[in-house]
Structure 1
Amino acid sequence: MGDVDYPFLMAVILLLAFGLVMLFSAGSAKAFSNFGDSLWYFKKQLFGAVLGVVGMIVLARFDYHRLGKFSFGLLLLSGILLVMVLIPGLGTTTNGSTRWLFGFQPSEIAKFAVILFFAFSLSKNQKMLPDFLRGFCPYLAVLGVFVILLALEPHFSCIVLMGLSSCLILYVAGAKIKHFLIVGFPAVIGAVFMVVKEPYRMARVVSFLDPFADAQGDGWQIVQSLYAIGSGGIFGVGLGQSRQKYQSLPEPHNDFIFSVLAEELGLLGAIILIALFIFLIVRGIKIAAKAPDLFGTLLVTGIVGIVAFQALINIAVVTSSVPVTGMPLPFFSYGSTALCITMAEMGIVLNVSRQSHAPL
């Protein structure tokens, strides 16, 4: 077993450090307003980062092949936790969504559980995958169960991420394009139904088309985000000097943290952030391509895919390129559970890189 992929590790460390600095800056005003402590969000995030780094170090040394033995058990556990969230008195409801259980989001565990299960199962049953009914549909059924549970919360952004990463793993494993087309139509119909069913989702789509038409109402979030990004110019107004984070920009420490970054560090800071994500993703793809077996390839593909889709959608949302979906930015947005699990997943990628038999 060789060394870990140090360029990938360096990218992870830089993103983590960059994210903590920006969370402190973006979340200080909101934290003081809500809790009387400007460090409240930062301290919580720092705790998640420390746990995540420990998890990354442990999993970088833990043979990823042994994780396959726990894939079904973790999948079952995450499903049970998602059910528990929906039980009155157990789950915590915030902003109309019931996503929290005892202070953490089971959906974060579920995302990884589905990736791990798909990767391990497909590595054992890849030959069955071309068969639509016996090879392809069973994985869709598993995904469908989790989609239903997440829809009941509701947690639409997690459904999107889980669906995209699962399809990516299936595609890399050798699923036929025509099978995706067969299920794609009803999936699109279902997505449209979920949007139309909830007035707030429909309002987001309408406001996306012309956010300035209702700048004081449904278009408020994206208009304030664009004001923040535009105010930054090329070099930004200075770290910690954002004006939009003071009661104007919603969720400056969470979904719209990229807007604060662009305002404070300007176009230059935004380019550096995007470049770091691109480097991490490209390096992750190389690790997946050089993995010693199909399990490693699919596992890294799923993990890196989650980070890639999340970053892409978040940046697209805050720049008004797609409708608002409530998608956090990996390593940056507030969420100690998500950060801890993301760092642990990075450890798995590093472990796969250690076992690569070809130079990266």
Structure 2
Amino acid sequence: MSDNELVTTSPTQSTFQDPGLPEHKLRMGDTDPVAAKRSERIVVGLFAVSILGTIGSLLAYFLVVPNETTDSVRNANIALGVTLFLSLMGIGLAAIHWAKSLMSDHEVVEERHLTASDAPTREAALTKLNDGVKDANIGRRTVLKGSVITALGLFPLTIAVPLIGSVGKDWDVSKFRHTMWKKGTRLTTDPAGRPVKASDVTIGSVVHIIPEAPEEERRSHHWITEKAKAVVLLVRMDPADLKESEERKSWSYDGIVAYSKICTHVGCPVALYEQQTHHLLCPCHQSTFDVSDGAKVVFGPAKRPLPQLPIAVDSEGYLIAQDDFNEPIGPSYWERLK
């Protein structure tokens, strides 16, 4: 067999016939006006759900106002969440059902060409678009048009009204500078609230800490919101491993150090401690802090060390705070001095 024969019989040289588009299958609504009308009513109904959800979200924003209780905050969040869900879900499902049952489903193939089409091609494209609009009977479906315009027109209010309503409210950023920690406040376990003795903290152990408060107070909404700023991670290591400046040598106790759990990047809880390296990892964006060296950043997007809580021991051997954190906790914000 010659080389020429090998080339002509090679499978890679074979040609295949273009199968073209599959045969178009009519939908029930294409042949049955009753089915088409039913699909239209479904779409209108879904847009109506979106409209009611938008109105409901506005009512929830103004009427379900949270006060100083956790239950009220939860109820307000649930009311806003459910109504916003209905508003978005109605638009989304209506768009899907409209596209599947009412819009033209004829497949159209357009060959790739230069970006600048000639006049006949543009006219042909415009004709196809007009044919699609006519096929969907949008012009005669006034209720459908009204529902979609109303739903899409009202939905932005769910975002705009809360934004406008926030103007003039509490923008006092000084509250971020201080937490519940005060001189003499005992360190207690989170969430039980049990005071911690220095003698109970072994080398290599990590304890999640909150300020001491009566159990009834710890259940209040105000305390829960303030607790979010005051959470602490307590670590004990060999005092020889600590690298402390002269200013901070009195802030620890026998190798026990306490740092804010709030990451200085975007505020995630930092709680993954590696005993051998003394590194503390934030699980959100992998910012890593060296607990043995002032919780300085050794890796990741965070730009500042974790604020340190100065601690001491009272006459009964319990760990107490000497004062509040040495600087504001959490991420950067405007008007921050440090």
TM-score bracket for the superposition, by shorter chain length: under 0.3
Which structure has the greater CA radius of gyration? 2
Q: Relative CO higher for 1 or 2, CA cutoff 8 Å, sep ≥ 6?
A: 1
Report the TM-score when normalising by structure 2: 0.27
**Bigger share in helix:** 1
**Bigger share in strand:** 2
Report the TM-score when normalising by structure 1: 0.26
